[in-house]
A and B are shown apart, each in its own frame.
Chain A
Amino acid sequence: MSLLKITNLVQRFGGLTAVSGYQADIKEGSLNGLIGPNGAGKTTIFNLISGFYVPTEGTIEFDGTLINGKKPHEVTALGIGRTFQNIRLWHDMTVLDNIRLSQHYHLQYSLAGALFRSKQYYKREREIKEEALKLLDIFGLKKEADEFPKNLPYGVQRRVEIARALSVQPKLLLLDEPAAGLSSADVKELIDHIKWIHKNFDITILMIEHQMQVIMNLCEDIKVLDFGKTIAEGSPEEIQKNPQVIKAYLGDEGDIYA
């Protein structure tokens, strides 16, 4: 069954066409990759899906609901979580608070209950803390729960951000270059983590990535974007052999030797 269906997506910024005619049909439970050179429009597509931009043309259908034009918080509530290319954590709140903010916000107790500390308040607070710690544990972050993200190494911050994206309990997880800036050891760990959450969380993943090692290891289906247009799609093997992809990434050989 298809979870995310995008038809003829177009996004123009003034005279610039960032995305032109993007199509996607992402099956539930699949692991998908979106690659392409810098400026190809990958992050724009993420921003369109998560509601930060309203598409100029086209439709985005998620889980049977039309979501283009919806606000980011509404899209999140429907079940889409995402991370950012440059980490956007709350650096002055603890890791634990970063993770539990979403659940905390949707708590079922009144303002008065919180101020006067009802029994229910304590009970829910404890449950949320436990859930958040469980999530942190998956990423090996339990002992960092009370640290501030700004004091943590980059690779750990990445993991915190993925854990935070999962805290909204999404059906679809959008990962924007999760391996950017990571050491090769961290990348290996990241691949394992993504595999683990994909298997255990009943989740669909769409990721943008530059590191071929990550994409080829994880993704079942890959789309290649160049200048806003889809130039190729298929399995990792197919993509690697596609002459157009090689051209987009490495430039035209003819140009060099002419």
Chain B
Amino acid sequence: MFTSFFQNIINALQWGSFYSMIALGYCLVYGVLRLINFAHGDIFMVAAYLGFIFITFLFKYIFVGGGVSGWLILAITLPVVMFFTSVLGVFIERVAYRPLREKGAHRLYVVITALMVGLILENGNLALFGASSRKFPAIIHRSVISFSGVHITNLKVLVIIAAFVTFAFLQAIVNKTKIGMAMRAISYDKFAIPLMGIPVNKVIVFTFILGSSLAAVAGVLFGMSYPVLNPYMGMIIGWKAFIAAVVGGIGDIKGAFLGGFLLGFIEILIVSFFSSNLKDLISFLILLIILVIKPTGFYGVAKSTKI
């Protein structure tokens, strides 16, 4: 009983970490653009594939003989994947969202565009790699730390640490830096920003870089933890993370972060008592009830739209 309790907590923390890292990406873009970037889950998927491609490339051409530390490979892979995922995020912003914004399109159209971008990423991937799943190369030897019956793999620890570190980093950026202050101001009212001499588009691009980088970290770590990749893997986890962000209070990064963990805990709790078939059904019922009681989420503030 005791051991399974701790085992479940570790699992919940790990899943919560994935949800949180993705939810933060939704939250950042929503804060700055008031746009729910539905393509974000698929950006996460692309990041996992980029990790897969890059590591395969490394093994094939650079570290041919093997014998290289997996941690070194991870240390090389992460920044590279973060960079290319950011390029993708900024590219999407540039070709899909910005033109609409500059034409003064209603937000609804931008949200629909985001859904389409997500579908394009999924199907583009399908066209490139086919429908069969890909196996993410195992780079880090999975070691199990056990104490009194609780098994923790090094990967789980890594995922949880990564989530907390990225969150702390994000908090510092938003609260302590000039660009973070501009991001906060934009989230309240975009209109007066250029009058302070601040280029709005630059801040938006920076936001997409941050959000996409987080998705990249989540994508690579997810690939390492659950090494089966398919083009639709981003959809359901993206939606779940989005809902987690809303429950936490979208627009506040603390809220999104906690929302991700809340969902992780709810899911694991349900699995430990019921059949795992019921996992999504019951967890979303719970989240629905939370939203009915508190529509703004835990950290959200009721706000009327001013457009």
A residues adjacent to B (C-beta < 8 A): 50-51, 71-73, 76-77, 81-82, 84, 88-93, 97, 101-102, 104-107, 111, 114-115, 164-165, 167-168
Contact = CB atoms under 8 A, between A and B. Distances in A.
A101 B182 contact: yes
Interface residues of B, number: 24
A200 B289 CA distance: 59
Interface stretch (B69-77, B119-127, B143-151, B190-198): B190-198
- Specify which of B177, B195, B200 lies most central, judged by the most chain A CB atoms within 10 Å of its CB: B195
Given A73-B200, A93-B185, A81 B195 contact: yes
Contacts of A115: 169, 172-173, 176-177
Nearest to A72: B194
A105 B192 CA distance: 14
A90 B192 CA distance: 8
Contact of B197 (A90, A97, A168): A168
B106 interface: no
6 contacts: A73-B195, A93-B185, A93-B188, A111-B179, A114-B177, A115-B177
Q: Specify the main secondary structure of chain B where it touches its partner.
A: helix
Closest 7 pairs between A and B when the two form their complex, measured CB to CB: A72-B194, A102-B196, A73-B194, A76-B197, A114-B177, A90-B188, A88-B192
B191 A76 contact: no
Contact of A92 (B169, B177, B188, B197): B188
Given A101-B196, A105-B181, A115-B169, 6 more contacts: A71-B194, A76-B194, A93-B185, A114-B176, A115-B172, A115-B173
Contacts of A84: 192
A71 B202 CA distance: 12
A50 to B, nearest CB: 7
A91 B181 contact: no
Given A88-B191, A115-B173, A115-B177, A168 B185 contact: no
